Amino acid sequence: MSEPSDQSDDQFDDIVDAETRDPDLAVIEAGSRTLRTQGGQPQGDPVPSRPEDPELDKALREVETELSTRWGETKLEPSVTRIAALMDVLGEPQRAYPSIHITGTNGKTSTARMIEALLGAFELRTGRYTSPHVQTITERISLDGAPISAERFVETYQDVKPYVELVDAREEYRLSFFEVLTGMAYAAFADAPVDVAVVEVGMGGTWDATNVIDASVAVVTPIDLDHTDRLGGTTAEIAGEKSGIIKQGATVILAQQPVDAAQVLLKKAVEADATVAREGMEFGIVSREVAVGGQLLTLRGLGGEYDGVFLPLHGAYQAHNAAVALAAVEAFFGIGADHARTLDPDTVRRAFAQVASPGRMEIVRSSPTVILDAAHNPHGARATAEGVSEAFGFSRLVGVVSTSGDKDARGLLEAFEPIFAEVVITANSNPRATDVDALAAIAVEVFGEDRVVVEPRLDDAIEAAITLAEEEAEYGGAGVLVTGSIFTVGDARLLLRRG
């Protein structure tokens, strides 16, 4: 395996030593300062930064510390008993508003953001709950299209904490990290109050903590193999778990699915007397053209066609997400069932034109272009590879990859092998990140030794990838793609975009 020449780390280490805050974040922030002159500062960044007020930042960190003592999102006891108990003592806040519930393997967060933008454009107050976060925990709970403030996040936690402790004392297991956050989201939405909640499952559906809502619209994005140790080894088994969000009499919006998964979902819909709308049948994409900064779409909704829709996101998969989101919002408004009409086309166009999805084919630097994408499984990696090839046409693309230990790293690397000239293997700040040497060994088997570089520290990995991308002075046609995990993308975003 080749390695770029060593560079002095003195300045980086000095900054880390001087940091008085969280050690892991100190490393990331120090790297940020070494790369900032290359990356620049974003305008209108939809991802919040840490609070500037030291006292508020301290309070937020105390909440994060308390939450970290609970079961993490990868340790599960498949039951909604505890979250149902919490909802009960909180007064059932999740029943104070209608909701749209989203499950699937990939595309959930982007679809949720599109649904939120559409609902907001029609002057509804929205609450959005998504996971995991890219950089800051407050991203998970949004009101009116923006993450709640750190102050409100802390206040919400303090409000629900006594009830959380009451449930902890009663149950065999304490509420998990994700269960507490879910309770906070539902409470925050009721307190706002919101007109509609857009809720993304954490994992699966049937026993996911979010599944205490009675959503009138259930959305299933494409299902593929992921979390097979918990959800099942086939797409049909996984669909069985995810179909648990389909409630009696709901409308089900189905993205294109593997045949066996579709059969399971349709059977569940029949049992629940639910109305089904299928992508490619009742709704879908009429036409799609690559455009500067995104793509231009004509979408067929449940009520008719919408032309001239500009979506400022790259990749065919995002166009499919847009079709699903539009159908979900139409269903929420009763279009296709109670009303034979379309939504106002101009409002739809305005909503899609303002959609952002941080960490999903997100450009954070130019010359060479650096793209961040949170693909973390083979299905997502294939979609990203196709999207990058279509939208950018790089003559030389270098990958920076760090995966989580429970993911199919080989399948992900194989999906990217055709488009990467070289790959830089590294680590992210998450304790579950795949061991660098183990990941490098897989990369060598997939790419060959001469196409693999190892840089254990992410800031060094990004610098190495930029150097490799520019190696032949192809500034106009060179690019870097940072991918493999939402944690990798979050760390890279801090490195390249923090001011």
Comparing C-alpha atoms, which of 383, 455, 394 is closest to residue 419? 394
Q: Which pLDDT score, from 0 to 100, does residue 366 have? A: 83
Band of residue 26 on the pLDDT scale cut at 50, 70, 90? very low
pLDDT at residue 29 in the model: 42
Mean pLDDT, residues 273-298 taken together: 95
Mean residue pLDDT across the chain: 87
Start-to-end CA span in the chain (Å) = 34
Write the single-letter amino acid at 389: S
- Residue 343: pLDDT band (50, 70, 90) is very high
- Residue 149: per-residue pLDDT: 94
Report the Cα 449 to chain-centroid distance in Å: 32
If one counts every other C-beta atom within 10 angstroms of the C-beta of residue 436, the result is: 17
DSSP helix/strand/coil, 164: helix
Distances (CA, A) of 290 to 41, 105, 387, 392: 27, 25, 10, 10
Going by C-beta distance under 8 Å and a sequence separation of 6 or more, which residues neighbour residue 339? 303, 333
Contacts of 120 (CB under 8 A, 6+ apart): 126, 144, 145, 351
Q: Which of 27-41, 99-113, 344-358 has the weakest average pLDDT?
A: 27-41
Q: Give pLDDT, residue 239.
A: 92
Query: What pLDDT is recorded for position 365?
Result: 87
Facing residues of 306 across strands?
Answer: 299
Give every CB contact of residue 324 below 8 A, 6+ residues apart in sequence.
107, 111, 219, 221, 253, 255, 279, 283
CA gap 286, 245 in Å, rounded: 29
User: What digits encode the pLDDT tens for the residues 286-320?
Assistant: 999 999 889 999 999 999 999 999 999 999 999 99
What's the number of CA atoms in the CB half-sphere (13 Å) around residue 436? 19
pLDDT attached to residue 228: 54
Q: Are the C-beta atoms of 264 and 240 separated by less than 8 Å?
A: yes
The per-residue pLDDT for range 87-109, each reduced to its tens digit, is: 999 999 999 999 999 999 888 99
Whole-number pLDDT of residue 63: 96
The pLDDT tens digits of the residues spanning 444-467 come to 999 999 999 999 999 999 999 999
The reported pLDDT for the residue numbered 338 is 64
Asked if residues 319 and 364 have their Cβ atoms less than 8 Å apart, the reply is no
Q: Which residue has the tokens 């918990």?
A: 230
**305-311 β-sheet, strand order:** 284-291, 294-300, 305-311
Give me the pLDDT at residue 76, please.
66
Which pLDDT score is estimated for 9?
46
Question: Is residue 474 pLDDT above 70, yes or no?
Answer: no
